[in-house]
Structure 1
Amino acid sequence: NSGGGREYKTLIERITIQKFNPELQKRNLETRDQRQKDFNTFVTQLKTHAKSDKSIWHSIKQSETTNQKQVDMRRKAELEEAERQKEQIRKELAEGP
């Protein structure tokens, strides 16, 4: 096994990886776990969306919209907290020692 002790799951994967130059082989192995996690997350989400009574594309779009709203709300809350902290610091500096 020329993959530095790493076992490959399939013959095709092993043959394909062996055709890479050593630098690409190393980079591929370093990112493999993250790519596998991302793929598993994608498949899990796909299965969840497939259970919906709506079309899978509509379900995914709705999920993306909900996720974006949550990100926006979190970002807004963080900005408000940062502004509150700045104001508190200004007050403390204005009051002096």
Structure 2
Amino acid sequence: MRPIAYIKMFVAGTVCCVGGPALVYYVTPDPDELFKRYNPELQKKTLEMREVREKRYAEFMGKLREYSKSDKPIWVVAAEEEKKQKIAANAERKRIRDEQERQRQEILEEQLSGK
């Protein structure tokens, strides 16, 4: 191969490697610019939900930090925690159902004894 071919390949590679990301950077809009393009209702809703999203993100990061303290992989610890939460939620639903059933029985007994 002649040296001119190497120069052409180097120039073409440089254009692709530098020009591609530069073009993406140039055509990607700024987040503030995108926000300004929203309709007013969507802007208002986004601003209202910002605090909730930030709170959820902070909780998520706290859980990740907690999970990372374990010797197990994070996804294993997260799955175990999710399983514990499901068990607790099922127990709470069962407790509520039992309480409602008990109240229903009490009401029936009062109605029967009142007749």
TM over 0.5: yes
Match of 1:18 among 27, 36, 51: 36
Q: Separation in 2 of the partners of 1:13 and 1:72?
A: 42
Match of 2:94 among 70, 73, 76: 76
Larger relative contact order (C-alpha < 8 A, sep ≥ 6)? 1
Q: TM-score, normalising length from structure 1?
A: 0.82
- Which residue matches 1:64? 82
Identity of aligned residues (%): 34
Q: CA RMSD in A?
A: 1.3
* Gap runs ≥5 in structure 2: 1-29
Q: Separation in 1 of the partners of 2:80 and 2:49?
A: 30
The runs of at least 4 consecutive aligned structure 1 residues that moved more than 2 Å come to: 12-16
For residue 13 of structure 1, report the CA deviation from its aligned partner: 4.7
Larger Rg: 2
Higher helix fraction: Structure 1 or Structure 2?
2
* Gap runs ≥5 in structure 1: 1-11
